[in-house]
Chain A
Amino acid sequence: MFFNVKDIEQFQSQKQFIDTAIVPLLSLEFADDRSRQSSSAAEFLMSLTAFIEQQFKGRLLVTPPFSYTPALKDAIRPEAIKDELQSAGFKHIFFMTCDHHWTTIEGERDVIWMPAIPLESMDKAVKQRILEDQLKQVIPTFTSAWTSV
């Protein structure tokens, strides 16, 4: 599910089935030497989360990305977002990011860091295969959370 009216209406009527939220944390950098890499990482992260949504549409909600520039980085508090999603009824909340910043924070166990793979130079079939491979990396994280309850 995405955060749009149609999906949210379905979410509200099927709350017992949709218990997982995926929150992309997206770093935007506009400096000349960083913007290309930053946009490539953004493209990868959005493609991957959209692909995860397609595979697990009926069980999880992919929220719009929480985007931040280096100056705003400290204003994003994953634990606060997590609390609000939990009070909305989500049992499992995962943050997905390509930004190393989040892996350095103590106690952030719900952040899944993925290496940004530059998709822009690939043709469609390769891109699809890369995304499938990356999906396989994250599936165990989801299934272990789902089976632990």
Chain B
Amino acid sequence: MSNNRVTRRQFLTYTITGVGGFMAAGMLMPMVRFAIDPVLQTKAEGDFVLTGQRVDELTEAPVKVDFSYEQVDAWYKSEVTDAAWVYKNGDEIVALSPVCKHLGCTVNWAGDSAYPDQFYCACHGGRYEKTGVNVPNTPPTGPLDQYEVSEKDGYLMLGKKFANSFA
């Protein structure tokens, strides 16, 4: 019994080690938390914007889908309305950005009656195939961008733009 007794010295050592450990942890934890913060950052679901277009109503023919989101420029908040040309390619949904790669006009599906199955830019006569690939010898220098697509409760969601995957 008597040899298990905690001496004053041992008691103080344990106590100080314990309290010191908590203090060190209290200082280190926030530092570690800051260091690994980018990893813990949750990916915002807000990257996808919900549109009013039902997925089961999409067909092979491109339709214009309007969607809007809030854009903040420094102190100025504005509601931006954007659009996409959406159609079904087999089972896959293709969403193309309507922004012409020439100088940024808005292109229209079958905008020129001479080319009923191409996208047409009224500004300088730029044309794109249904896949968004630019027709050679027209002003555009590249294919139309694509939007990431997703679905929520039967409605189409559009995400980030990426370079055309058909090109």
A is bound by B: yes
- For chain B, what secondary structure do more than half of its interface residues adopt (helix, strand, loop), or is it mixed? loop
User: Hey, which chain B residues are within 8 Å of A40, CB to CB?
Assistant: none
User: Hey, which chain A residues are within 8 Å of B105, CB to CB?
Assistant: 55-59
| Contact in complex: B103, A124 (CB < 8 Å) | no
Interface size, B (range): 10 to 19
User: Hey, which chain A residues are within 8 Å of B79, CB to CB?
Assistant: 124
User: Hey, which chain B residues are within 8 Å of A39, CB to CB?
Assistant: none
B68 touches A (CB below 8 Å): yes
User: Hey, which chain B residues are within 8 Å of A67, CB to CB?
Assistant: none
Contact of A10 with B81 at beta-carbon distance under 8 Å, contacts A17-B124, A56-B123 already known: no
Q: How many residues of A contact B (CB 8 A)?
A: 15
Give bound CA distance, A124 to B81, whole Å: 9
User: Hey, which chain A residues are within 8 Å of B106, CB to CB?
Assistant: 54-57
B104 — nearest CB in chain A belongs to which residue? A57
Give bound CA distance, A59 to B124, whole Å: 8
Chain A CB within 10 Å, residue with most, of B66, B68, B105: B105
Give bound CA distance, A124 to B121, whole Å: 25
Contact with A along B104-144 (1 / 0, CB 8 A): 11100000000000000111100000000000000100000
Give bound CA distance, A58 to B101, whole Å: 10
| Contact in complex: A143, B103 (CB < 8 Å) | no
User: Hey, which chain B residues are within 8 Å of A17, CB to CB?
Assistant: 102-103, 123-124, 139
Give bound CA distance, A54 to B99, whole Å: 9
User: Hey, which chain A residues are within 8 Å of B68, CB to CB?
Assistant: 124
User: Hey, which chain A residues are within 8 Å of B121, CB to CB?
Assistant: 58
Selected A-B contacts with CB under 8 Å, 16 pairs: A17-B123, A54-B106, A55-B105, A56-B105, A56-B106, A56-B122, A57-B106, A57-B123, A58-B103, A58-B104, A59-B103, A59-B124, A124-B68, A124-B79, A125-B52, A128-B81
Chain A: residues with CB nearer than 8 A to chain B?
10, 14, 17-18, 54-59, 124-125, 128, 139, 143
Given A55-B106, A124-B81; 13 other pairs, CB 8 A cutoff? A17-B102, A17-B123, A17-B139, A54-B106, A56-B123, A57-B103, A57-B105, A58-B103, A124-B68, A125-B52, A128-B66, A128-B81, A143-B122
